[in-house]
Amino acid sequence: MTAKDSYILERQAGHLLRRAHQRHSAIFQENIGDAQLTPLQFAVLVKLRDLKEVSQNHLGRLTAMDAATMQGVIKRLASRGLIERRPDPNDRRRLILSLSEKGSSLVEALVSNGSGITAQTLQPLSAAEQKTFLDLLAKLAQLNGHSE
């Protein structure tokens, strides 16, 4: 077997993950219900809904975003009036984030769309395959052998 025969692009994990991500991103944009909202911004809004308030740094870790990406996401959400930022009273260098009233209303209006997007993304798979796929993705997503 030659090197050419042993490496087939269409069977490589990175290529397949990228293609699946492209498909999911297109489904997200078509169905989220807010043309300005990106998947990363939606993840931040949902996490803030769940946590009520959290430091920007911790939120970045929970949503798997590096500091520069998180900073851009927060800036765009704040400019739309969807989140509120305040200094941490115990450490003025840290920002504490929470949803604004407008952000809370938006995430509640769109969260069912998020569930539908997941269902549409996974639609080609049987129920058993969906569970296995999500379990395997969760396993792959664990960094250093542990999850958040």
Q: Per-residue pLDDT for 144 more than 60?
A: no
What sign results for the dihedral spanned by CA atoms 10, 43, 138, 64? positive
| Tens of pLDDT, residues 27-75 | 999 999 999 999 999 999 999 999 999 999 899 999 989 889 999 999 9
CA angle 101, 107, 111 (to 5 degrees): 155
Percent pLDDT > 70 in the chain is 94
Provide the H-helix boundaries in the chain.
3-6, 13-31, 39-51, 56-62, 67-79, 101-122, 127-141
Fold of 3-141: Arc Repressor Mutant, subunit A (1.10.10)
Return the pLDDT at 1.
62
pTM assigned to the model: 0.83
Residue 148 has pLDDT above 50, yes or no: no
Phi, psi for residue 38 in degrees, rounded to 5 = -95, 165
Residue pointed to by tokens 């209006």: 109
Decide which of 1 and 147 is more confident: 1
Domain residue spans of the chain: 3-141
Please tell me the predicted confidence (pLDDT) of residue 146.
Answer: 46
pLDDT tens readout for residues 67-90 = 899 999 999 999 999 999 998 888
Residue 4 has pLDDT above 50, yes or no: yes
Contact 31, 120 (CB under 8 A): yes
